[in-house]
Amino acid sequence: MRTLCPNLDREDGLETVLEVPVPEEIFASAKNNKSWQNMKSWMKSHTEKSPASLFGGRNTEIQLLLGVVGAPLVPLPIRSGCYSFSKSFKNHPIVTETSMAKYIVQQYIAAAGGENALNSIHSMYAMGKVKLATTEVVAGDGRTLSNSKNNMKLKSMKNGPGEMGGFVLWQKRPDFWSLELVISGCKISAGSDGKVAWRQTPWHHSHASRGPPRPLRRSLQGLDPRSTANLFSNSICTGEKTINDEDCFVLKLEAEPSTLRARSSSNVEMIRHTIWGYFSQKTGLLVQLEDTHLLRIKSPENDIFWETTMESAIKDYKTIDGVNVAHSGRTCVSLFRSGENSESHTRTRMEEIWSIEEVDFNIKGLTLDCFLPPADLKKEDEGCGIVTSSNVSRNAKSPFKVRPNAASRVGAAKGVAKVAAIDEDDLEINENDEELL
């Protein structure tokens, strides 16, 4: 990872300090003009460009990736403060689904470093790199968009690097966190000051998530064992399952109805949000995190349903200051749209490969001012979902089209269904909008 970028306009100029470190692969050979152009886009402020020039073609795919995979949140808030798991387990002497789950969480605490070690952590810093790609878009008739007449070039992690980038994550007890993630010149910022969770993107003003502030899902992918234990402390054990040839206990937790109602709006209903944790029977550590949520877009004609499933394989645990922290993993996302008729059904698949380059605890000088929300933060009155879409145009030159300050639209050749999906907390519904932008 690089923290300095050479002056791309003057060879004798001073190097620029990057806000978010970038992978070495971004600094390709100077003979590759395209790579240098990409590097310049990292350095130029998005405010210098109009939204129309920012997004189109490949960059709209990046917008889709950042909106869905960049900074998702867990289903429900996590209580803050230290927690005695041994005391909690003693209150459930009879073996039940709940007491079994508490025992598994207690074993996880021990495997992660112990209760005292985890409770001694007051703040955290992590820096890493990511590779993102849209791996598949399937229409209602079973055809992939990459095989349609308007061929859409989809990347696969196995065949290429995808969209590369880096991220920096800061956390501070009790409920403060801040994330900056940049891929291919596009940046998403998100955070929480303990009162409100928010996100900021180049294509949309800063906006708050509906409902109570929730932790960042990325933190629970092996980076923050204490929050993981707190989250699953009220879960139930649903059985056992083999994950990558490793026997695991399965813990399940569902968002409470009050939380779902707080995340809903007049035209969007959050039906359910469930999370599963797979804990190794051998090591006691979390090896896979899976969650799925279903929302309904209310319409006078036909309601539209969106189901998002995220599955994260967590591995490469290393001990940092007595705490076991995961240093790599892969997240697979499936986004399914249903309703209306079968021809409009679509499934979009995305992947993220991530690795941690640096991690440290109890950061000196990390004040609460580092977690202040943006000055232009706006509370969304109706935004709660992901979806915008448009009917398909015969003259569509690209399967990805975008409207400034609107969620992503994905269209294709005639007969191919609508695909969209950005930001659970920012919904603009244009189901009746026939215009292809």
Residue 27, domain extent: 1-41
Asked if residue 163 is part of any domain, the answer here is yes
Q: Are residues 326 and 282 in the same domain?
A: yes
Whether residue 35 is predicted with pLDDT greater than 90 in this model: the reply is no
Are 282 and 134 members of one domain? yes
pLDDT greater than 50 at residue 294: yes
* DSSP, res 392: -
Same domain, 97 and 222: yes
Is 61 contained in some domain? no
Q: Is the pLDDT of residue 220 over 50?
A: yes
Q: What does the pLDDT read at residue 45? A: 41
Question: Which percentage of the chain shows pLDDT scores above 90?
Answer: 44
283 domain residue, yes or no: yes
In a domain, 187, yes or no: yes
Kindly state whether residue 392 falls inside one of the protein's structural domains: no
Residue 177 located in a structural domain = yes
Residue 42 vs residues 39, 70, 393: alpha-carbon distances, Å = 5, 17, 33
322 in the same domain as 229: yes
Count up the domains in the chain and report the number: 2
pLDDT, residue 246, reads 95
Tell me the range of 5-9, 22-26, 175-179 where mean pLDDT is highest.
175-179
The segment with the largest mean pLDDT, out of 132-136, 161-165, 249-253, is 249-253
> Do residues 88 and 150 both lie within one domain?
yes
- In this structure, the answer to whether residues 32 and 131 fall within a common structural domain is no
Same-domain status, 258 and 350 = yes
The pLDDT tens digits of the residues spanning 248-280 come to 999 999 999 998 999 998 899 999 999 999 999
Q: Is residue 58 part of a domain?
A: no
Q: DSSP E strands: which ranges in 96-220?
A: 123-138, 163-172, 176-183, 186-193, 197-201, 204-208
More reliable by pLDDT, 146 or 225: 225
Q: How would residue 21 be classed by pLDDT, with cut points 50, 70 and 90? A: confident
Residues 256, 175 share a domain: yes
Cβ-in-10-Å burial (0-12, 13-18, 19+) of 50 comes to exposed
Which of 279, 263, 162 is CA-nearest to residue 220? 279
What is the sign, positive or negative, of the torsion defined by CA atoms of 425, 292, 389, 395?
positive
Q: Which two tokens stand for residue 335?
A: 């986004």
Residues 22 and 103 reside in one and the same domain: no
Residue 225 sits in the same domain as residue 336: yes
Question: Among residues 332, 349, 379, which one ends one of the domains?
Answer: 379
The pLDDT mean for the chain works out to 76
Whether 96 and 27 share a structural domain? no
Whether residue 421 lies inside any domain: the answer is: no
Q: Compute the distance between CA of residue 225 and CA of residue 239 in angstroms, rounded to an integer.
A: 22
- Within this chain, do residues 324 and 259 fall inside the same structural domain, yes or no? yes
Interval 414-425: pLDDT, tens: 333 333 334 455
Domain boundary among 379, 409, 425: 379
pLDDT by residue (tens digit) across 371-384? Answer: 998 888 865 433 33
Burial class (CB in 10 A: 0-12, 13-18, 19+), 345: buried
pLDDT at 309: 96
**pLDDT confidence of 38, banded at 50, 70, 90?**
low
